[in-house]
Structure formats: C-alpha cells, structure tokens
Amino acid sequence: MFAFFLGCLYLINALAVLWLVKNKFNLFGFIYNKKNRSFFIIYDLPFMGLSLFALLEKVHWILIILFLMHLLNSLGLIFRPTYFYQSLEEMKVIGESSLINYITFMSTIAGLLSLYVSYL
C-alpha cells in the first residue's frame, strides 16, 4: 500500500515539474538558490518516509535504492551543501532543459517502478 502511494507521489511530482515548466517557472534558478535548501530537505521527507514505510512493508531492491537515494540527498544537503551548489557550473553546461528532462524522467521511472512493486 505504501509503495502504491509512493508511486503516485513520484508521478504527481513529474506532472508538477512539467506544469511548472509550462507556466514558465524558473526551476533552474529555484533549485540552485541557496535560500531554498530547507525547502528541498522538507520536500524530500515525504518521499523518504513513504519509501521507508514501503520498505518495511515489502523488502524490495527498488525500494531500497529509492530510500537510499533520498536519504543520501537529504544528508548531502544538510552536511555538505557546498558540494551540491558547486555543481551549478556543470548544470549550466548541460542546460536547463536537460535538467528538467532528467527530473521528469527519473520521477516517472521511480513512480512506475514503485507501482510495479506495489502490485507484486
């Protein structure tokens, strides 16, 4: 049940990113604004909590990867934020559209995999 909710949350996240881009929101500037660090930590909590509960409900390697991904992301933003913000120059080379495509693609894949695990 938690894996199903996690999958839905990921798919809603992908749709929200696409909606923000459609409405000309500067997602790139928002992500790399240092004032928004606490927002991202709080934003990661539901994903981390649902993946932990889904993992406790059904141990699966996909859920382990999703939980560790969110845990490491949050720990990195808490303890080593300068490392995250140093990647700004690399992301400028890659481009904003590539970053948005990556976020949307990974959220969609994580959502579909979570839904798959929920139906096993």
d(CA 1, CA 39): 27
| Entry pTM | 0.81
Two structure tokens written together for 60? 């699966």
Confidence at residue 11, expressed as pLDDT on a 0 to 100 scale: 93
Cβ atoms of 34 and 81 within 8 Å: the answer is yes
Q: Give 10-residue mean pLDDT values along the chain (120 residues).
A: 89 90 78 79 88 88 89 85 73 74 87 87
Other CB atoms within a 10 A radius of the CB of residue 104 amount to 17
